[in-house]
Structure formats: C-alpha cells, structure tokens
Structure 1
Amino acid sequence: MPALVLVEVSIHNPELYEEYKKHTLATIEKFKGRFVVRGVKTESLEGDWNPERLVILEFPSVETAKKWWASPEYSQAKQIRYQAANSKMLVVESH
C-alpha cells in the first residue's frame, strides 16, 4: 500500500536549506519515492495550523519510506536539514 510522508518545515537558514534540497532528490528517487507537494503556499481551512513550508512525498509503502528516512544516503542530507530548519515529519498509509 502506498505511503505519504508529510513534512512541516520552518526554515531558519535558507542558504543551508538550499544545500539540503540538492542532496535530497537522489535519495528519494533511490527508494522509488516522489514529491507530491514541495514547498508550496498553504492556507488553513480549520484550526491554527499554518506551516511555513509543507512537503509531501509518496513512497511505495510505509516500510520503504522508513527505510529511506533511516538510510545512510539520506543521513547526510538529514543532518544538513537539522542545522537549517525545524521540522515535523509523519508517515501515513495512503490508498
């Protein structure tokens, strides 16, 4: 069953975040993932949730998404993201 990874990002170092983005695409593609939404403007319809940046990825399964997140390939990019931004990340099954 496909899985979505939802990421809410608040960037505090835009230049370093651009470096993170350069390292990320190849890691996602290696795990047969793809961007569904990448950093587009959001508008809250209910509640006070208004992310600065929202990213949604799709992977073939939750297991594959978790393997990507824990992979050595993504580890380097993840460390850059930790320095450039604060983020929250969820993985959910999709239909």
Structure 2
Amino acid sequence: MAAFVLVEVSIHDPELYESYKKLTPGSLEPFGGRFVVRGAKTESLEGDWNPERLVILEFPSVEKAKAWWSSELYSKAKDIRYRAANSKMLVVETLG
C-alpha cells in the first residue's frame, strides 16, 4: 500500500537549505519516491497551523519510505537539513 511522508519545515539557514533541496531528489528515486508537494503556498482552513514550508512525498509503501529515510543515500541531505532547519516528519499509509 502506498504511503505519504509529510514534512513541516522551518528554515533558519536558507543558503544551506538550498544544498539540501539539490541533494534530496536523487535520494528518492531508488526507493520509488516522488514529490507531491514541495514548498507550495499553503492556506489554513481550520486551526492554528501555518507551516513555513510543507513537503509531501509519495512512496510505494511505508517500508520504502522508512528505508529512504534511514538510507545512506539520504543521510548527507538529512544532515544538512538538521543544520539548516527544524522539521516535523510523519509517514502515513494510504487507504489503498
């Protein structure tokens, strides 16, 4: 079953974050991942949620998403993201 990874990002080093953005796409491909939303404008319809940056990724399964996140291929990009931004990340299985 497919899965989405939802990421809320607050960037404190925009220049360094650009390096992260360049490295990430290549790390997704071997795991069947793709961007669904990548930093597009958001508008809150309910509640107090207004992310600075929202990213949604799609993978063939939760297992593939978790394999990507913990992969050596993504580790360099992830280290950059940790230095350039604060993030919240969820993986969620789709309905089918």
TM-score range, shorter chain: over 0.9
Cross-structure match for 1:68: 68
Q: Runs (4+) of structure 1 moved beyond 3 Å? A: none
d(CA) in 2 for partners of 1:32, 1:64: 7
d(CA) in 2 for partners of 1:92, 1:65: 9
Gaps in structure 2 of 5+ consecutive residues: none
d(CA) in 2 for partners of 1:23, 1:5: 17
d(CA) in 1 for partners of 2:49, 2:22: 28
User: Following TM superposition, by how much is the alpha carbon of 1:71 offset from its aligned partner in structure 2, in angstroms?
Assistant: 0.2
d(CA) in 1 for partners of 2:9, 2:40: 11
Cross-structure match for 1:88: 88
TM-score norm. by structure 2 comes to: 0.97
| Structure 2 residue identity aligned to 1:54 | L
Correspondence list, 1:1-95, <5 A: 1-94=1-94, 95=96
d(CA) in 2 for partners of 1:78, 1:45: 30
Gaps in structure 1 of 5+ consecutive residues: none
Q: Percent identity?
A: 77
User: Following TM superposition, by how much is the alpha carbon of 1:2 offset from its aligned partner in structure 2, in angstroms?
Assistant: 0.2
Aligned residues: 95
User: Following TM superposition, by how much is the alpha carbon of 1:52 offset from its aligned partner in structure 2, in angstroms?
Assistant: 0.3
| Structure 2 residue identity aligned to 1:53 | R
SS in 2 for 1:40: coil
TM-score norm. by structure 1 comes to: 0.98
